[in-house]
Structure 1
């Protein structure tokens, strides 16, 4: 969600900066980048290390409430091409799930702003035990949609998210936003969703599934649940 279909990262950065500064600390753009794609409890631990004297759950609640307020005030800033692609996928009758490490209340708020019932399921950070890069969220989404992960395409913008989606067994399309993503054989790299269509998604899926079927199996070559593409 954050950074993939909506450009909400500036909202998160503002909320983080305000929170740290309220405790007399300093929060830089580089600090903000540390939290992109991370689970909120992991982010809370980093904020505590920077002087935020609150419990982890209280930090998550403060940040989420602030970001929701900004979304309510300014709306969901859609990433280029995201809304158009979701509209085409929905019109084709293909089920979609929203997989995010934000809390469910915020995911529902963004979903409600799409303008139509885009998502057949939502899996949020407060609905899983293991945050990205663990694949639990994507495995749960596939189960809720009634399909196998191998029949899914995941679209991600962060390294933890990409690692989680790859580890689930889905075909992955990486669309960079706030952080640079290097090319890898493990996922398809698109600079933007702008101008992308369902036909293009289908081509990526078909080519990667055909390639996987043709490739000889190698011992230990499968994705590990805790593997992070940062070191791919």
Structure 2
């Protein structure tokens, strides 16, 4: 396998998604990346565009990761937007979170979002030193997003797309649906994944589509590394 340009990594609880995520991140040791773009779906916020984190650092229990200066450059180009204040659904666990509750009107797509957050510790362990561009996907055309991102990604960049696949289906049905989704991704079949009937195939369907369009622009070839679902880790 040549140099990894992008990975799709799940974002469920680590006990469910961690083993598959680890396989993806194990594909990048020994490779050098200055900037990592992490693109995840929004689970709680409703907004137009793709939110670009405008903080200075991104903190996890493993330490702080600097936000790349390229984030501000990207945020100037539609459909990317500087991290907006917007309508955010507050999850049930918010009141027991370690962070203080934000004041009304201060919440952004990043406030409670986990899709990017759970990827960062894997990157900290795997890459050690890198700069981050944290992106939360709202309402945006994935092909438009891909065209803009294409100009920001170079040989020193890695793109991480955070997405689970199907949700709330019986085990065998989930496996069948996911196999079809994986087939579309590996074939670069954007038309199938973009079709309205595919809406529930992946929570990060739009970020995945952006990656698929990027792969066409850049000439990247997909490779399946691992697939499992949470039914294999449930008791």
TM-score normalised by L of structure 1: 0.31
- The higher radius of gyration belongs to 1
Q: Comparing both structures, which one devotes a greater share of its residues to strand?
A: 2
TM-score normalised by L of structure 2: 0.31
**Greater relative contact order, per chain length (Cα 8 Å cut-off, separation 6+):** 2
Q: Comparing both structures, which one devotes a greater share of its residues to helix?
A: 1
